[in-house]
Amino acid sequence: MSFQMNILIFLHIVFYATFLFAQQADFSGEWVGKLYQEAGGVSPEYNFQMSLIQQGDRVKGATYIELPNMKDVFATIKLRGTVKGNQLFFEEYQIMKEKTLPNMQYCLKKGTLTFSIAEDKCQLKGSWTGYSNFGPCVPGTIIVFKPYVKPPEPVVIQPKKDLPKNEPIPIVQNAQNTVKDTLVDLPIELKKGQKIVLSHVYFKPSSWELLPSSYPELEKVYHYLRSIPSLSIQIQGHTDIGSTPDYNQRLSENRAKAVADWLIKKGIKAERISYKGFGNTKPIADNNTPEGRAKNRRIEFEVINE
């Protein structure tokens, strides 16, 4: 093999390793797929979801597991883990919510998942073991996916002609995606009466028509409700003082209804979601400034039942 060919292969390996290493920092997000057991149990296959937040080489979050075609048989479990290279070492340590069948126990699982990219998807795949109140669980495998988002190219600002020769050229760093996936942005546990402001829900001006830029935030709420089937919420709409009280009341209520309708159409049971408009009666900022009015125009939800 020629020297040039060896160099080419080496550069290819370095490029792939560098690319994969760059991707290992992206364990955060919503991973959806299947969990399998080698034998036994109520079912050898489960619907499985991992919602992860990565901070350095540490990971925390929750898993959600349910029987196929039996969405009322489920468990939501806290997890923690460590990232090393392109691998995630995780363990579940607390069952938050669960509904079982007779003689059924959920396993507290631990295992190793390997990160890879296949076409337009990120993949985590690996094996797990675990234990329950019945003793050791039959081990199995996990394979989950999330969409792959290609990072933007860095933007280089060219120097002006009169820029001193020794002054460095400023570089604009890659923009970071500030909209996290689904469940991971919300608290793991919500209490009755607690309110969450949905900061990324947008409407057309003077309208209750949702803009597509709202969908990532609404998907977050949808998956959170799916992960805790006992949770019921009220969607609440608010406005600033930009119009008459009657108009503001109608606008806020219709906007809250639009969000509730979106979640119900997505698959959340209607009895778990109510809505209410408050117009401009509950400001959280100064209506005398543009910044304050922008904060007062908001959608939030309140936990009605845990």
Mean pLDDT of the chain: 80
Average pLDDT over residues 32-41: 81
The least confident of 59-63, 117-121, 199-203, 254-258 is 117-121
Dump pLDDT digits (tens) for 184-241: 455 556 788 988 898 889 999 889 999 988 888 898 888 788 877 788 999 999 999 8
Instruction: Give the closest residue to 33 by CA, choosing from 137, 174, 140, 136.
Output: 140
- Please give the residue that has the higher pLDDT: either 17 or 99: 99
Q: CB within 8 A of 43, min separation 6: which ones? A: 37, 67, 68
- Would you state the pLDDT for residue 82? 93
- Per-domain residue ranges of the chain: 26-147, 186-305
Taking the C-alpha atoms of residue 278 and residue 21, their distance in angstroms, rounded to an integer, is 49
List Cβ neighbours of 230 (8 Å cut-off, separation of 6 or more): 97, 305, 306
100: nearest Cα among 138, 133, 78, 61: 133
Its CATH architecture, for the domain 186-305, is 2-Layer Sandwich (3.30)
Q: What is the pTM of this model?
A: 0.52
CATH number for the domain formed by residue range(s) 26-147:
2.40.128.120
Distance CA 50, CA 183 (A): 9
* pLDDT value of residue 184: 46
Q: Please state, in angstroms and rounded to a whole number, the distance separating the CA atoms of residues 273 and 261.
A: 9
pLDDT tens digits for range 248-282: 999 999 999 999 999 999 989 999 999 999 999 99
CA distance 46 to 65: 6
End-to-end Cα spacing for the chain: 66
